[in-house]
């Protein structure tokens, strides 16, 4: 970036700082240091295009000090700060990328990428750019960020105190920097003191108005012993840390507001307990007591940095995970592997999204472009991040890096790790990017020579099949699976290819199965039982899923001819042979069932044609009158021809069609018996002279007990059961004005209880129905006339038959002519 001219005019005047030879300097983003004298710029290192931040101090800022010695003192403090930062290598201390560079009017150095200082994020906008960058203006701390940030600074102080035996001397928000990854880094080492001779106390200069504020620590955060006793200790840094913690939770305001006046500072120290009481309610409850001890004027009550870092408040799985990430370079390979594959994967769902994308993901992203051996270990946490991301988060924050990873050269282990989780990546990736960005890794792996990678690709097909369209399966996947099978010499590889085809059946069109899959399977001539069982399993899948379109024609012409030779395979076990035979039997049954259904439909069509020419006496409607005997015979002949054409004659006795045929035989038997009985009566009884006595006998013969028993004997339970859906009729005496024998509906056909086979016709479950000369219903003296449309009205039963006297003469059976308009009960 060539923006040096802007910096030249706005910041460093006419001079050229040598740091511009090593870094391309970008926009001004933040400020830090004593009196916020450092201006922080985004930058990129020219040698490797690595992101960085450049700190620049414009010496013109100190021109207002007038005295040259004071100007030089400011530069000296800043030089010391940078040199001390270069000296220490700790994850929680700001890392310097390039040492200090100085010219006539500026001092500069480069560090790891920095977002801003803690003071900027808490509201101190001194020497900030205008307008304020949106990432700083809209910044808000997450509770977990603050917790881990406090722990990071505490660990940095513990390192200085215990390992380097140094006193920081200026712990405050302007000395704490927030990296772009969200890590809190300790800086501001310009007032660092090193212990001598193992002493834990240091000489200190109290804050004074005689010196520039730029060369002195921040008065609001100085420990009381420094200002009063001119001495300081390691726990003096802990006092400053306690005041900083209060400021973080108090909107950036310190408990002591000295306004750079030592006298005001003294007053603030005296009121410190009151000020803390007001701020304590804003602190986490677990920090109230420790912080109160940290800012105690008596140094004996203050905890050390190491003791403070052991608080239960910091015993959090997320905090521990983030701490391990920061100290990753110091860990051995075994610890790193366990952390990536187990600890981090389990912790990712608990990490707040802001910290996850700002702090954790950058670590993993950097590992993606390192050694291949290390890359395989970061795939599990990367997939865990993808899985916990929303589709919008994936598109904005993760998809670019995932696409780079899929496209870059990888070893087999990394490819296998990605293929095992390819369904998760496809689910998060927009549909339009599937064919271009994600699926090529699958197709390329199917073409590779690595058997493990090919196996992983074929296994992945089962998980991602819902993301494959029919065209991709037909043109990209199926040909490769068939090629793998044909070229393989290993039974396991062939099995994987067949299982791959089996998994994809649900996504294939019927035409693809019939044109590509079935011909391929039927041409296989395996001897290995595993292959035979795999093919059997595929055909079983097709049999159970109608979407596969396995018709009985395909079964008979292609599938079964290819399976039958396997029944002679001597290598099959008894169980495997049984599985094969069960499939073949099911196929035979399917062919039989389909053929029979088709033949039955054809027979039904012929049946409809026959019924259209002559009515069937067995199925006549309930209001239709009885046919003559000749009509009955002709109907029976047509029924015989119809049944001869039907497939019911070859049905199994226990099948539905078999039961219907048995019922038909029963009905035919009853009709035949009725015809023979009528013919016999007609032959045995000659017409008698028409006398009144004969008429009376004819009126009551139909209701006589002998006639009733004859009817009852041939009206079996089965006939009643078969004809329960028709309205039943019984013979009753005709009325005086109605010729012939009238028809009485049977009670069971109209909702009344059916008469049992032992009940006589005269029992009160029948009702008379007769009409007068005009065809209207009329009432007999025995009780009300019951009409079919009025069956819901009250009735009194067939008392008419009960009033018959024993002397009533019997007459012969009615003639065939009188039966022409009647339908006996046992014919229905």
pLDDT of residue 349: 94
**Degrees, nearest 5: CA angle 783-785-789:** 145
pLDDT at 739: 41
Q: CA-to-CA distance for 380 and 751, rounded, in angstroms?
A: 74
CA–CA separation, 529 and 573 (whole Å): 8
The whole-angstrom separation of Cα 742 and Cα 131 is 110
Name which of 736, 739, 763 is nearest 752 in CA terms: 763
Distances (CA, A) of 190 to 170, 175, 228, 815: 8, 10, 22, 136
Query: Tokens representing 317?
Result: 């799985």
Mean of pLDDT values over 304-326: 92
More confident residue, 357 or 753: 357
Residue 380 has pLDDT above 90, yes or no: yes
H/E element, 562 = helix 560-563
Q: Dihedral of the CA atoms 326, 331, 334, 339 (nearest 10)? A: -20
For residue 23, name the pLDDT band (cuts at 50, 70, 90). Answer: very high
Main-chain dihedrals φ then ψ at residue 355, nearest 5 degrees = -70, -35
CA dihedral 779, 780, 781, 786 (to 10 degrees): -60
For 419, the token pair is 């293929």
Residue 681 — pLDDT band, cuts 50, 70, 90? low
What pLDDT digit, counting tens, does each position of 813-824 carry?
A: 444 444 444 444
In 462-527, beta strands by DSSP E: none
Q: Which of 106-110, 367-371, 624-628 has the highest mean pLDDT?
A: 106-110
Q: Is the pLDDT reported for residue 404 higher than 60?
A: yes
Find the distance separating the first CA and the last CA of the chain, reported in whole Å.
104
Give CA separation, 413 vs 420, 451, 452, 455, 484, in Å. 11, 12, 9, 12, 20
Chain Cα centroid distance, residue 77: 60
What is the C-alpha to C-alpha distance for residues 543 and 545, in angstroms, rounded to an integer?
6
**pLDDT per position as a tens digit, 33-63:** 999 999 999 999 999 899 999 999 988 887 7
CATH homologous superfamily, domain 1-314: Transferase(Phosphotransferase) domain 1 (1.10.510.10)
Measure CA 406 to chain center.
24
Distance CA 151, CA 287 (A): 12
Q: Coil, strand, or helix at residue 367?
A: helix
pLDDT of residue 519: 93
Q: What is the CA radius of gyration of the chain?
A: 52
Percent over 90 (pLDDT), the chain: 47
Q: Is the pLDDT of residue 644 over 80?
A: no
The mean pLDDT value of the chain amounts to: 78
Sole residue written with tokens 């059997």: 536
Coil, helix or strand at residue 26: strand
Q: Pick the closest to residue 54 from 23, 13, 14 (CA basis).
A: 23
CB 424 within 8 A of CB 383: yes
pLDDT tens sequence across 181-201: 899 999 999 999 998 877 888
pLDDT per residue as tens digits for the range 283-305: 999 999 999 999 999 999 999 99
Domain ranges of the chain: 1-314
Q: Of 363, 370, 369, 373, whose CA–CA distance to 411 is shortest?
A: 373
């Amino acid at each position: 970036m060539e923006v040096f001219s802007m910096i030249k005019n706005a910041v460093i005047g006419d001079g050229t700082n040598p740091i511009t030879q090593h870094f391309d300097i970008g926009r001004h983003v933040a400020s830090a240091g004593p009196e916020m004298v450092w201006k922080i710029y985004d930058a990129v290192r020219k040698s490797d295009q690595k992101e960085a931040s450049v700190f620049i101090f414009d010496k013109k800022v100190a021109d207002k000090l007038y005295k040259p010695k004071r100007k030089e003192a400011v530069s000296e403090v800043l030089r010391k700060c940078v040199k001390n930062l270069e000296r220490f290598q700790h994850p929680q201390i700001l890392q310097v990328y390039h040492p200090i560079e100085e010219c006539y009017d500026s001092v500069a150095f480069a560090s790891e990428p920095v977002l801003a200082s803690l003071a900027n994020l808490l509201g101190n906008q001194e020497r900030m750019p205008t307008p304020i960058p949106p990432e700083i203006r809209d910044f808000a701390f997450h509770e977990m960020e603050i917790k881990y940030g406090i722990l990071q600074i505490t660990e940095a102080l513990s390192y200085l105190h215990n390992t380097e035996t140094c006193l920081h001397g200026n712990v405050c928000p302007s000395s704490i920097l927030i990296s772009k990854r969200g890590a809190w880094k300790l800086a501001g080492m310009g007032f660092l003191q090193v212990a001598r001779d193992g002493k834990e106390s240091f000489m200190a200069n109290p804050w004074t108005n005689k010196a520039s504020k730029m060369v002195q620590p921040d008065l609001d955060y100085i420990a009381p012993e420094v200002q009063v006793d001119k001495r300081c200790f390691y726990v003096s840094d802990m006092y400053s840390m306690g005041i900083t913690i209060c400021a973080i939770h108090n909107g950036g305001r310190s408990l002591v507001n000295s306004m750079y006046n030592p006298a005001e500072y003294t007053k603030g120290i005296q009121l410190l307990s009151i000020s803390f009481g007001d701020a304590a309610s804003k602190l986490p409850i677990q920090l109230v007591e420790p912080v109160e001890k940290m800012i105690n004027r008596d140094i004996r009550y203050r905890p050390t940095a190491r003791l403070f870092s052991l608080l239960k408040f910091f015993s959090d799985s997320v905090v521990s995970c983030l701490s391990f990430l920061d100290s990753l370079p110091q860990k051995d390979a075994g610890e790193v592997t366990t952390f990536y594959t187990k600890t981090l994967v389990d912790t990712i769902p608990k990490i707040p999204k802001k910290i996850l994308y700002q702090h954790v993901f950058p670590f993993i992203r950097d590992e993606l472009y390192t050694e291949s051996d290390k890359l395989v270990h970061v795939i599990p946490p990367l997939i865990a991040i993808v899985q916990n991301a929303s589709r919008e988060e994936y598109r904005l924050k993760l998809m670019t890096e995932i696409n780079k990873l899929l496209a870059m050269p990888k070893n087999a282990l990394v490819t296998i790790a990605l293929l095992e989780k390819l369904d998760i990546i496809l689910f998060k990736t927009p549909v339009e990017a599937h064919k271009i960005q994600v699926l090529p890794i699958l197709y390329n792996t199917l073409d590779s020579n690595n058997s493990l990678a090919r196996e992983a690709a074929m296994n992945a097909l089962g998980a991602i099949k819902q993301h494959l369209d029919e065209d991709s399966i037909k043109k990209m996947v199926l040909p490769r699976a068939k090629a793998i099978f044909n070229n393989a010499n290993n039974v396991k590889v062939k099995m994987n290819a067949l299982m791959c085809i089996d998994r994809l059946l649900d996504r294939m069109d019927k035409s693809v199965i019939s044109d590509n899959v079935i011909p391929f399977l039927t041409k296989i001539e395996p001897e290995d039982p595993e292959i035979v069982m795999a093919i059997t399993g595929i055909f079983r899948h097709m049999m159970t899923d109608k979407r596969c379109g396995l018709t009985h024609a395909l079964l008979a012409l292609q599938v079964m001819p290819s399976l039958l030779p396997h029944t002679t395979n001597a290598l099959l076990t008894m169980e495997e042979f049984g599985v094969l035979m069960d499939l073949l039997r099911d196929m035979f049954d399917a062919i039989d069932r389909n053929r029979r259904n088709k033949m039955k439909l054809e027979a039904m069509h012929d049946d409809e044609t026959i019924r259209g020419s002559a009515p069937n006496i067995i199925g006549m409607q309930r209001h239709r009158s009885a046919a003559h005997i000749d009509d009955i015979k002709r109907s029976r002949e047509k029924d015989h021809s119809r049944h001869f054409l039907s497939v019911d004659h070859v049905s199994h006795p226990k099948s539905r069609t078999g039961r219907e045929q048995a019922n038909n035989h029963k009905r035919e038997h009853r009709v035949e018996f009725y015809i023979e009985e009528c013919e016999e009566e007609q032959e045995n009884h000659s017409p008698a002279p028409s006398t009144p006595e004969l008429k009376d006998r004819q009126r009551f013969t139909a209701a006589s007990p002998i006639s009733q028993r004859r009817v009852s004997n041939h009206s079996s339970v089965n006939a009643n059961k078969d004809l329960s859906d028709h309205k039943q009729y019984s013979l009753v005496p005709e009325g005086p004005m109605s010729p012939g024998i009238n028809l009485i509906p049977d009670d069971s056909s109209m909702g009344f209880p059916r008469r049992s086979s032992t009940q006589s016709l005269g029992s009160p479950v029948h009702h008379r129905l007769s009409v007068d000369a005009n065809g209207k219903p009329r009432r007999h003296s025995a009780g009300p006339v019951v009409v079919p449309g009025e069956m819901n009205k009250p009735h009194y039963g067939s008392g008419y038959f009960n009033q018959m006297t024993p002397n009533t003469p019997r007459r012969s059976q009615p003639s065939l002519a009188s039966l022409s308009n009647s339908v006996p009960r046992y014919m229905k």
